Amino acid sequence: MNIVFIALGSNLNNPIYHVEKGIRDINHLLNTKVLKRSSLYKSKPIGPQNQRDYINAVIKIETLQEPIELLDSLQDIETQHHRRKTKRWGPRTLDLDILIFNELEFNHKRLTIPHPEMINRDFVLIPLYEVTNYNFMIPKYGKLLQYI
Ligand code: ROI
């Protein structure tokens, strides 16, 4: 079984609905189960400010899917939520990012694991702290972030 952390974010058309439905959609993926979820967090947009506040959450899942397979599954869910590829850092109905995948370091043109920006984003780290009780490891940062 793979243990994976995923960040969810939305700031369009009832963002709470999209994040909650996104969690249920992930739980329904083949060979995948949501083990734990964070609360919902509301935050100001990082990046361009002329967009609405975001709702963010992080979940912990177990899955038999491999990284690119899981990426395809998550992109299918984003598409079902009418995610449109607009401008970079623009508003979105649902954004699903793979943060950590076991202890894997993975570099592929479509996907980098651990997520290269996660360490800079409070809207990812704070829900991740909640889900893990501060007890997690980001592979390329060794155990520096394993607090307890
Ligand atoms: N800002 C916040 N607060 N939450 C997000 O999920 C989010 N996602 C993004 C950018 C545009 C970087 N800003 C964000 O993709």
Q: Of all protein residues, whose CA lies closest to atom 4 belonging to ligand 1?
A: 54
The CATH code for residues 2-144 is 3.30.70.560
Q: Is the peptide bond before 114 cis (omega within 30 degrees of 0)?
A: yes
Number of the ligand 1 atom closest to the C-alpha atom of 53: 3
Q: In DSSP terms, which residues pair with 112 in a beta bridge? A: 107
Give the mutation target among 12, 50, 56, 124 for probing the ligand 1 site: most ligand atoms within 8 A of CB. 56
Written as six digits, the tokens of 129 are 């702290």
Number of the ligand 1 atom closest to the C-alpha atom of 9: 6
Contacts of 96 (CB under 8 A, 6+ apart): 6, 7, 8, 22, 26, 74, 75, 77, 78
The answer to pTM > 0.85 is yes
C-alpha separations of 7 from 50, 74, 148 in Å:
22, 11, 22
C-alpha separations of 72 from 58, 65, 68, 76, 109 in Å:
19, 10, 6, 6, 14
pLDDT digit string (tens) for the chain, length 148 residues: 999 999 999 999 899 999 999 999 999 999 999 999 999 999 999 988 889 999 999 999 999 999 999 999 999 999 999 876 666 777 789 999 999 999 999 999 999 999 999 989 999 999 999 999 888 888 877 655 555 4
Tell me which residues are annotated as active site. Answer: 83, 92, 95, 97
